[in-house]
Structure 1
């Protein structure tokens, strides 16, 4: 039924989770309150977006501003910039920051030089200014 609704155009467009930047696909159980849906999961709702997350976003944008147009950085570069020696614990938060920036239209996410869907990409992410 959901496939039929989507084909007929009855289902609203997908959204982006404000915490992790992943795509939220419309579900029939959310039909009444789709406009209020902001998070893809309870974990994202609990986590939200912290000051540390904003620092990672700023680090990504600052690192990209230092590079020539078209040059890329890795998501781990931002984690290293913010976390120093303990950067590994910031690896996933840096990926979330990159997905949020991509959803906002500020950066592109690539792997092996090709654009990828940030919601499903696995492994290191290459980031470049849009």
Structure 2
């Protein structure tokens, strides 16, 4: 990809990936160099976004459309954004903003040693 369009790649952006490469460096790389492209693809594919700074922006009212619009302005980064605009009726929520899972204790029986043993056996087996 870089050989086809070398002008689009900053000279300080040199990454070599192998089977042993962790995801941590990918998060930083995507956030720094490909955030808008990643967000467009995440919206299209329905991916759950795991980048913390993006999740924070979604939680304060941004969605894919409003985030893309504000990030397209010069000198704006994911860490320095204006307040989120009010949502429009047809705005879709990002994948992680789906209803919260039930609390951890929801639907569990009252605690007893025998119940604990049953759950442990079910978990192990």
TM-score range normalised by the length of the shorter chain: under 0.3
Larger fraction in strand? 1
Please report the TM-score for the alignment, with normalisation by the length of structure 2. 0.25
Higher helix share: 1
Larger radius of gyration: 2
